[in-house]
């Protein structure tokens, strides 16, 4: 590998997965939970008083258009555009759990990060197959499997976890992390 390669997760890192799910679940149950109220818990823990919440969430996620509705996480597009001038950026998304989302995820990426070649989109399951120097991800299990340097991106569900990874709270942190790396190389 000539250039340093950074693999970037999609849901909760570039695309606001929990925000979109919360919107859909709130609409379904007539609730008004905010992302602030998701801190330290999963969506299903938040909706645990509803017995059918797992089934409802499953149906939401399997709507093939749902992934197109995700908002962009603040700063992600701008920072990725800057980083792509210096680094190889690949998008590594664990899409195998929800195959109906493939097309919507692809369309979302084409719309929001058109400067990244679709040949660099990796739709995978286990991210130990991703060959890169860094992985930016909110999922501790994926970070543990990854063979390069794991970077934990803060999301509501991991915000209160004490995890053995460098934590990046937002895209300003991502930018600073790689600026510092560049200067010290």
Instruction: Give the catalytic positions in this structure.
Output: 9, 11
Cα–Cα distances in Å, from 119 out to 7, 76, 107, 109?
Answer: 13, 20, 14, 12
What gap in Å lies between CA 56 and CA 149, rounded to an integer?
36
| Cα 69 from chain centroid (whole Å) | 15
With beta carbons less than 8 A apart as the criterion, state whether 83 and 168 touch: no
Smallest gap from residue 140 Cβ to Mg ion (A):
11
Least Å distance, CB 155 to Mg ion, is: 7
Please identify, among the stretches 66-74, 84-92, 114-122, 135-143, the one whose residues bind Mg ion according to the rule CB under 5 A. Answer: 135-143
Binding track over 93-132 against Mg ion, x by CB under 5 A: ----------------------------------------
Say how far apart CA 131 and CA 141 lie, in whole Å. Answer: 17
Q: Tell the smallest beta-carbon distance from residue 180 to Mg ion (Å).
A: 24
Q: Which residues, numbered 137-166, are part of the site for Mg ion (CB under 5 A)? A: 138
Which residues, other chains included, contact 58 with Cβ-Cβ below 8 Å and sequence gap of 6+?
none
Site for Mg ion in 2-61 (CB under 5 A): 9, 11-12
With respect to Mg ion, which residue has the nearer C-beta, 11 or 16?
Answer: 11
Contacts of 68 (CB under 8 A, 6+ apart): 104, 107, 108
User: With binding defined as CB under 5 A, does residue 88 bind Mg ion?
Assistant: no
Question: Smaller CB distance to Mg ion: residue 169 or 180?
Answer: 169
- Where do contacts with Mg ion occur on this chain (CB under 5 A)? 9, 11-12, 138
């Amino acid at each position: 590998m000539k250039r340093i390669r950074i693999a970037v997760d999609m849901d909760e890192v570039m695309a606001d997965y929990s925000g979109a799910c919360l919107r859909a679940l709130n609409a379904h149950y007539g609730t008004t939970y905010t992302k602030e109220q998701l801190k330290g818990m999963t969506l299903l823990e938040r909706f645990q008083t509803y017995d059918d919440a797992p089934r409802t969430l499953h149906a939401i996620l399997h709507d093939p258009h749902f992934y197109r509705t995700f908002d962009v996480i603040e700063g992600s597009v701008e920072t990725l555009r800057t980083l792509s001038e210096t680094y190889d950026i690949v998008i590594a998304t664990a899409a195998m759990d929800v195959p109906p989302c493939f097309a919507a995820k692809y369309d979302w990426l084409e719309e929001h990060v058109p400067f990244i070649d679709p040949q660099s989109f990796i739709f995978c399951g286990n991210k130990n197959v991703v060959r890169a120097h860094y992985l930016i991800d909110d999922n501790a299990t994926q970070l543990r499997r990854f063979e390069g340097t794991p970077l934990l991106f803060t999301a509501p569900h991991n915000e209160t976890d004490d995890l053995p990874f460098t934590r990046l709270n937002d895209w300003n942190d991502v930018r600073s992390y790689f600026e510092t790396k560049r200067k010290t190389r």
